[in-house]
């Protein structure tokens, strides 16, 4: 009886807890708006009261709110209680229900309380079970309850029915005992034979189980040794995988550095190419200037020749001027020759400069190809590094699985060993059962059955 009552009460408690948990989650949403400033405290409390006022479950059940000071904040059925002090209220048994509820939530935050309370529209109080929970933010107590008078009625009815059935069974048992008493000795005789034979079979089965348990234990130990060997190999594989992962990350790092070096070399070579082009243009300007100098030297040479002719005509008076003219002519010839040499060197420099430009452009093209290749190498190495990481993780998971299997095998071996031990105990119990049956049979019918059931 108590078990049936406890089960029904537990079902009611579970239902009440779920209802309050749902309302609490709605309260938390409203209080979050209050904390963020979307609602004032008064607005948030009014919004929650409106929600509770409209909340019903199981057709007519409701939720109320009171605070730790003992003021009823909201009672959707008995609205006269709203805003009044309820701490002094007691049920017909003198139980200060709301005071007890506050004590419960102050101690445990939430809990259950039984008391008497009239049903809606009725005056006679009935047994009621309520669940209350504290909201520490506003110091409000949320409560709801269900009447349990129906459980008591069902329990009383069940007690009557069980008593009636018990009476019928008692009468039937007495009649049956009277009818079977004449065959009792014969039945006991046959029963002792059957039970003893069964005990002998159990003993044989227990011995077989014990033997199988030993074999299972031995095979399990061998399997565990194989698993440990596999685990050691897997650890070596994991170390190799970890080393590969580290190497792949190093290759990615070096590839990126090489890519940056190639790009830097490309930029430097591009600057060198531009400088060589500028030098080539300068050489062209020098060649043009040398042509002008050469022309000036030619004109100077002509003027010096003319001056020499005029000095010869002047005779002794023009001798000094003739010396100067010869010196100027000699200087013009040397200047022309020097200009020619400079132009030759400059033209050769121009040719070499143009070759340098071509080589620089070729080098830039090669470095660009190298840089592009390094970009592809970096991408490939990054994929390799990612695959190495995934492989390492996979090996780690496999190692965990094998360790779990090893632990399971150890547990299985222990269970097999325990089974073997239990089978020995079962064999001993079987022998003891046979002895007790023989003893009981002698006490009941004065002799052992005709079949020899003695078993050592």
138-181 pLDDT, tens digit each: 999 999 999 988 886 766 655 554 445 455 555 555 555 555 55
d(CA 27, CA 141) in angstroms, rounded, equals 12
Predicted confidence band of residue 60 (pLDDT cuts 50, 70, 90): confident
What strands, in cross-sheet order, belong to the sheet with 110-118? Answer: 72-74, 63-67, 140-147, 125-135, 110-118
Q: Is residue 454 part of a domain?
A: no
Q: Is residue 167 part of a domain?
A: no
Is it the case that residue 367 has pLDDT exceeding 80? Answer: no
Looking at per-residue pLDDT, the higher value among 162 and 92 belongs to: 92
CATH number, domain of 246, equals 1.10.287.950
Q: Is residue 162 part of a domain?
A: no
Q: Would you state the pLDDT for residue 63? A: 96
Q: Would you state the pLDDT for residue 282? A: 82
Predicted confidence band of residue 110 (pLDDT cuts 50, 70, 90): very high
40 token code pair = 């004032």
Q: Rounded to two decimals, what is the model's pTM?
A: 0.38
- Judged by DSSP in three states, 87 sits in coil
Same structural domain for residues 127 and 225? no
Tens of pLDDT, residues 300-343: 888 878 877 877 887 777 777 678 878 887 887 887 788 788 87
Is it the case that residue 1 has pLDDT exceeding 50? Answer: no
Same structural domain for residues 26 and 118? yes
Number of domains in the chain: 2
Mean pLDDT of 16-37: 96
Average pLDDT, the chain: 78
Is it the case that residue 102 has pLDDT exceeding 90? Answer: yes
Cα–Cα distances (Å) from 321 to 102, 258, 297, in that order, read 137, 74, 19
DSSP secondary structure string for all residues of 108-170: HSEEEEEEEEEPTT--SEEEEEEEEEEETTTTEEEEEEEE-HHHHHHHHHHHHHHHHHHHHHH
d(CA 347, CA 310) in angstroms, rounded, equals 39
Residues 6+ apart with CB under 8 A from 225: none
Same structural domain for residues 110 and 258? no
Q: Would you state the pLDDT for residue 332? A: 77
Is it the case that residue 108 has pLDDT exceeding 90? Answer: yes
Q: Would you state the pLDDT for residue 140? A: 97
Same structural domain for residues 74 and 219? no
Mean pLDDT of 409-437: 65
Is it the case that residue 82 has pLDDT exceeding 70? Answer: yes
Query: How far is it between the farthest Cα atoms of the chain?
Result: 190
Q: Is residue 179 part of a domain?
A: no
Same structural domain for residues 122 and 237? no
324 token code pair = 């100067």
Same structural domain for residues 406 and 303? yes
Same structural domain for residues 34 and 130? yes
Same structural domain for residues 217 and 136? no
Q: Is residue 374 part of a domain?
A: yes
Mean pLDDT of 273-294: 79
Q: Is residue 443 part of a domain?
A: no
Same structural domain for residues 239 and 314? yes
Q: Would you state the pLDDT for residue 361? A: 81
Predicted confidence band of residue 99 (pLDDT cuts 50, 70, 90): very high
Q: Is residue 205 part of a domain?
A: no
CATH number, domain of 142, equals 3.30.450.20
* Domain finish residue from 100, 126, 147: 147
Tell me the β-bridge partners of 147: 128
Tens of pLDDT, residues 193-232: 666 666 666 666 666 666 666 666 666 666 667 677 766 7
Chain position carrying tokens 């107590």: 141
233 token code pair = 């190999």
Mean pLDDT of 89-113: 95
Portion of the chain with pLDDT greater than 90, in percent: 27
Q: Is residue 417 part of a domain?
A: yes
Is it the case that residue 32 has pLDDT exceeding 80? Answer: yes
Same structural domain for residues 226 and 339? yes
Apex 194 CA angle, 188 and 197, nearest 5 = 135
Q: Which domain holds residue 70?
A: 2-147
| Region for residue 105 given its phi and psi (left: phi exceeds 0; alpha: psi -120 to 50; beta: otherwise) | alpha
Q: Would you state the pLDDT for residue 22? A: 94
Mean pLDDT of 412-441: 66
Highest mean pLDDT among 70-79, 193-202, 385-394, 406-415: 70-79
Same structural domain for residues 120 and 217? no
Is it the case that residue 404 has pLDDT exceeding 90? Answer: no
Q: Would you state the pLDDT for residue 175? A: 53
Portion of the chain with pLDDT greater than 70, in percent: 67
d(CA 435, CA 185) in angstroms, rounded, equals 19
């Amino acid at each position: 009886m108590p078990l049936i009552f406890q089960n029904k009460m537990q079902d009611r408690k579970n239902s009440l807890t779920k209802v309050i948990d749902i309302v609490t989650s709605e309260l938390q949403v409203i209080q979050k708006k209050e904390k963020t400033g979307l609602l004032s405290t008064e607005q948030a409390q009014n919004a929650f009261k409106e929600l509770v006022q409209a909340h019903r479950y199981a057709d007519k059940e409701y939720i109320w709110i009171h605070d730790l000071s003992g003021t009823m904040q909201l009672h959707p059925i008995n609205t006269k209680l709203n805003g009044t002090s309820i701490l002094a209220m007691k049920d017909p048994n003198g139980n200060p229900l709301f005071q007890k509820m506050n004590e419960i939530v102050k101690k445990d935050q939430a809990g259950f309380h039984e008391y008497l309370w009239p049903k809606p529209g009725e005056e006679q109080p009935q047994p009621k079970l309520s669940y209350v929970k504290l909201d520490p933010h506003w110091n409000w107590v949320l409560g709801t309850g269900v009447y349990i008078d129906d459980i008591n009625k069902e329990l009383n009815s069940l007690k009557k029915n069980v008593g009636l059935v018990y009476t019928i069974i008692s009468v039937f048992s007495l009649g049956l005992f009277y009818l079977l008493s004449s065959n009792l000795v014969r039945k006991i005789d046959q029963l002792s034979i059957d039970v003893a034979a069964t005990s002998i079979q159990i003993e044989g089965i227990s011995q077989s189980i014990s033997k199988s348990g030993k074999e299972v234990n031995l095979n399990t130990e061998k399997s565990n040794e194989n698993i440990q060997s596999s685990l050691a190999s897997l650890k070596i594989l994991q170390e190799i995988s970890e080393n590969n992962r580290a190497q792949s990350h190093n290759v990615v790092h070096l590839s990126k550095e090489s890519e940056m070096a190639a790009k830097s070399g490309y930029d430097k070579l591009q600057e060198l190419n531009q400088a060589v082009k500028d030098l080539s243009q300068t050489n062209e300007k020098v060649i043009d200037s040398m042509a002008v100098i050469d022309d000036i030297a030619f004109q100077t040479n002509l003027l010096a020749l003319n001056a020499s002719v005029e000095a010869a005509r002047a005779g002794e008076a023009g001798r000094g001027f003739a010396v100067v003219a010869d010196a100027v002519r000699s200087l013009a010839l040397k200047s022309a020759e020097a200009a020619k040499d400079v132009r030759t060197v400059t033209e050769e420099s121009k040719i070499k400069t143009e070759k340098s430009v071509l080589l620089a452009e070729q080098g830039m093209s090669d470095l660009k190809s190298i840089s592009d290749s390094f970009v592809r190498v970096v991408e490939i190495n990054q994929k390799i590094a990612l695959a190495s990481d995934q492989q390492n993780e996979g090996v780690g998971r496999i190692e965990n699985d094998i360790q779990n299997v090893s632990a399971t095998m150890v547990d299985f071996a222990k269970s097999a060993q325990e089974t073997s031990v239990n089978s020995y105990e079962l064999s001993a119990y079987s022998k003891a059962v046979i002895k007790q049956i023989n003893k009981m049979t002698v006490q009941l019918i004065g002799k052992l059955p005709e079949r020899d059931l003695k078993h050592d």
